Structure 1
């Protein structure tokens, strides 16, 4: 299970984790984190839901994971956690809680030493650059690491060959990002100018893409730009939320390549009929040369997220509101 990329520290860490997979009976996976770290786990859960014959998965917010105390959490559980700096108190406590139940705990972070690492069986260090910059090495970013953990699990436990297809495709993802950047560079600047004065912007998606919409709503628009937002699942749009749509309400709609795309297309048809302000990021317009056909649906969210990051940076410049600006986070007790 190797690829043609240079062997990294993360690869070494993953090798140790895969050896631990082989030694354990794993019946369920719990993805546990907060905020943006939680959002990035949705694509991997989608993969496990679609592909696994025997292993179930759930996504929990760290604090609720502890308080809800799932009875199925035991020695046959794999708990994957994430905290960028490894210092999120709720996530550190969740790792400690999971270990007390006998679960195998694997934590992702971009720092080498942190409280979360002390409470975890294994850690994986990913590459990370602030939201104001574009990442040049997508194959070792957090989304990719999570896919390696989940696809590697099914490779080992169920013989799922998509792990190998993932590795070869990740080799080419950087080139895809470069092409997408050129394709959307002027478009995101135009969007930023058009939407810079909006007081509220909704985001919508389904399936493997939903985490991208959620992350953009709560981390970029609300946290980093102080713009009111809400992430709407495309399948839930027609069960209440569509009543707020009119020609003055802006939406960002993500169209992916996975099996739930018809839900997003249905939402788009309604937005086109009754709304006027919309940004549509459609994975079908991307040049995905080098991405294996069988994993395009799983990797499309990573490319969509790249375009969203471009838009976030352009929006922050158009609004003269740096993405690093905060009122409360890291500044007051909470």
Structure 2
């Protein structure tokens, strides 16, 4: 079987053969949340290329006028079976775009509609992937940082590849550090009907994923992902000493917004879970990459909390009411 890195290398070679000035990051749900760190990277680093994140269905309905032969469309579906994402790939190819799709299976409908695929590694929530350096977030970074390396000579790709070699050690340490706190939090929060999550910048997608996939989909708790920059423009009115908030604090340029939110949360709230990337050992990660890789760390820590929360609530993460069970 072709390895994920070999698949990535083939795609990087394909980049060389095409003009690419726009990147469309297209998916649904947790796979859509996956896209936000790479958009942040392109926004920060690119000089000639722009990036946008789209829900798969809206991508088709909105029909961006800039989508064409100079576009790269990167899609993701965990099992490659999401109908909207498969249709989005077909739609993008019909517009002449280069289509690259991520999934953890080898064959799927999405693969049939894509120019290239990458099979990332995957482990259930809370478990450390045996190869986090080729898990979904890491693969997407390889594709987007690799694009800027090929097209603009950006040096971050080399630093990414080197840093990812240390990711397994970083995540193992983070799990050891987080486990007891996660157990305590789960006992404290298991009966809460609503939990809000908040972050900004490169970490916002992680907060969004935890809110909609873990709390809403897998735990049937009311939740909403709040951007830290938007917190003071309406959402802070729901805060009091009885309303739980999770705040993610990263290492990227938007951290001051999270720090501002933290100050207010501490002044007016009590049920707070603060997960700060600064508190974890990221030895082996290049200094210039720590901000970009903090979401991979925080996402894994959140999954440790998710497993403990599911154990405390007695509601397995695999239990669904509608998904895969009724027509929709």
Q: TM-score, normalised by structure 2?
A: 0.99
Q: Is the 8 A contact 1:134 1:310 kept in 2?
A: no
1:279-306 Cα shifts (integer Å, max 9, x gaps): 0000000101000000100001100001
Identify the residue that residue 215 of structure 1 maps to in structure 2. Answer: 209
Is 1:123 aligned with 2:117? Answer: yes
SS in 2 for 1:212: helix
Identify the residue that residue 318 of structure 1 maps to in structure 2. Answer: 312
1:23-52 Cα shifts (integer Å, max 9, x gaps): 000000000000000001100000000000
Identify the residue that residue 285 of structure 2 maps to in structure 1. Answer: 291
Q: Is the 8 A contact 2:126 2:300 kept in 1?
A: no
Residue of 137, 140, 146 corresponding to 2:140: 146
Q: Is the 8 A contact 2:128 2:172 kept in 1?
A: no
Q: Is the 8 A contact 2:46 2:148 kept in 1?
A: yes
SS in 2 for 1:167: helix
- Superposed CA RMSD in Å reads 0.9
Q: What's the CA shift for 1:184?
A: 1.0
Identify the residue that residue 255 of structure 1 maps to in structure 2. Answer: 249
Q: What's the CA shift for 1:133?
A: 2.9
CA distance in 2, matches of 1:136, 1:271: 36
SS in 2 for 1:150: helix
CA distance in 1, matches of 2:66, 2:163: 34
Identify the residue that residue 75 of structure 1 maps to in structure 2. Answer: 69
Q: What's the CA shift for 1:203?
A: 0.2
Q: What's the CA shift for 1:128?
A: 1.0
Identify the residue that residue 203 of structure 1 maps to in structure 2. Answer: 197
Q: Is the 8 A contact 2:126 2:305 kept in 1?
A: no
CA distance in 1, matches of 2:268, 2:241: 7
Structure 1's unaligned 5+ residue stretches are 1-6
CA distance in 2, matches of 1:8, 1:175: 25
Q: Is the 8 A contact 2:69 2:97 kept in 1?
A: yes
Q: Is the 8 A contact 2:128 2:171 kept in 1?
A: no
1:100-125 Cα shifts (integer Å, max 9, x gaps): 00000000000000000000000000
CA distance in 1, matches of 2:178, 2:106: 35
SS in 1 for 2:229: coil
CA distance in 1, matches of 2:128, 2:288: 27
CA distance in 2, matches of 1:136, 1:217: 25
CA distance in 1, matches of 2:48, 2:84: 29
Mapping of 1:202-281 within 5 angstroms?
Answer: 202-281=196-275
Q: Is the 8 A contact 1:189 1:314 kept in 2?
A: yes
SS in 2 for 1:201: strand
Identify the residue that residue 61 of structure 1 maps to in structure 2. Answer: 55
Residue of 315, 323, 326 corresponding to 1:329: 323
1:51-74 Cα shifts (integer Å, max 9, x gaps): 000100000000000000000000
SS in 1 for 2:222: coil
Structure 2's unaligned 5+ residue stretches are none
Aligned length: 328
CA distance in 2, matches of 1:39, 1:132: 18
1:122-155 Cα shifts (integer Å, max 9, x gaps): 0000001222533232101000000000000000
Q: Is the 8 A contact 1:44 1:146 kept in 2?
A: yes
SS in 2 for 1:49: helix
Q: Is the 8 A contact 1:192 1:311 kept in 2?
A: yes
Identify the residue that residue 3 of structure 1 maps to in structure 2. Answer: none
